[in-house]
A = this chain, B = another copy of it.
Amino acid sequence: MTTSEGFIAPKFDDDAGRKLAIICSKGTLDMAYPGLIIGNGAVQEGIETHLFFTFWGMDIITKVKVDHLKVVPVGNPAMHMPQFVGGLPGMTDLATNMMKKEIEKLDMPPIHEFIEMVHDAGAGLYACRMSVDMMHLKKEDLIDEVDDIVGAMEFLEKAEGAQLLFI
């Protein structure tokens, strides 16, 4: 337990026992990143980190969708397009491509690669059982990084003592 015996001190002693549980309920590109960015920071700091995917957030961990998440300009005034323009065909793809380019410039990985990184670093990834059932998904429809499909009770158990975020 001394450095002379090769003991490696954890980077953040204060975070021993600290837990973070993030519920990801949205399937848009702009709401997929915040959970991964915070989750990645947390797991890097040695915080026990769990990510739960539910409702629209299921898209983030569904094989056929994870690489096709979009930003939607309609209903989002921060995109600075009049709403009736945002609703025109092609505008969602335009906004999505714009954001993907900006994210790439910041050296942020694409979603699936980011998930792999966070998972490899030790974060737990869980799909919501009810959402799996509602969307008629099977375990094999989900990306390999998903550790388990869990119900509300199992979520609550894993989240005990954790700081919570609902995204």
Nearest CB of B to A158, in Å: 12
- The copy count of this chain in the complex is 3
Of A25, A47, A134, the most chain B CB neighbours within 10 A belong to A134
Cβ of A155: which chain B residues have Cβ within 8 Å of it? 38, 41
A144 to B75, CA, bound (A): 29
**Contact count band on A:** 35 or more
Instruction: For A44, give the chain B residue with the smallest CB separation.
Output: B153
Cβ of A74: which chain B residues have Cβ within 8 Å of it? 74-75, 83, 86-87
Binding site for B on A (CB under 8 A): 14-15, 18, 23, 25-28, 30-31, 33-34, 37-38, 40-42, 44-45, 47, 54-56, 58-59, 69-70, 72, 74-78, 82-84, 86-89, 91-92, 102-103, 105-106, 108, 130, 133-135, 151-153, 155-156, 159-160, 162-167
